[in-house]
Amino acid sequence: MYLESKYKGDDGSVAEELLMGVSEIEERAKVVDKAVREGYFSLGEALSLYKVSEIEYLAYSLVKNKKEIEAASKQSKLIDALSMVLIVFDDAINTFDPVVRTMMHQLDVITKNSSFRKVKVTR
């Protein structure tokens, strides 16, 4: 699809309609998802490459998994949200202060405890 006006016609207007309401950040986050899922990059590499911040990707992941998370109990919602935070910041963990690294490790242990897990969070 070309964005130049000389290539616009009926097809161009249909494409614009289809993309209406899809933010640029959401588009890039979807590409990040696909690149990571297909094994081309780690999440940290893909975020950097496609210029998506950890916070933007975290928001995208929460919205993407909203239906599954909403169906869960409040406790499961918290565990799922924490799991997503851990996934998003995993590549940066070595740059954190030792206390924060310890906290992240403890959160990882808690979120992987099967008695807490009711919903499967997807990347």
The pLDDT of residue 34: 95
Which amino acid is located at 100 in the chain? V
The pLDDT of residue 1: 44
DSSP string, 60-99: HHHHHTHHHHHTS-HHHHHHHHHHHHHHHHGGGGGGS-HH
The pLDDT of residue 70: 79
Is the full-model pTM beyond 0.75? no
Report how far Cα 61 is from the mean position of its chain's Cα atoms: 4
Residue given tokens 């207007």 in the structure block: 13
Parts of the chain with a pLDDT under 70? 1-22, 116-123
> Residue 74 carries which DSSP code?
H
Rounded-to-integer distance, Cα 27 and Cα 98, Å: 35
pLDDT in tens, 75-96: 888 888 899 999 999 888 889 9
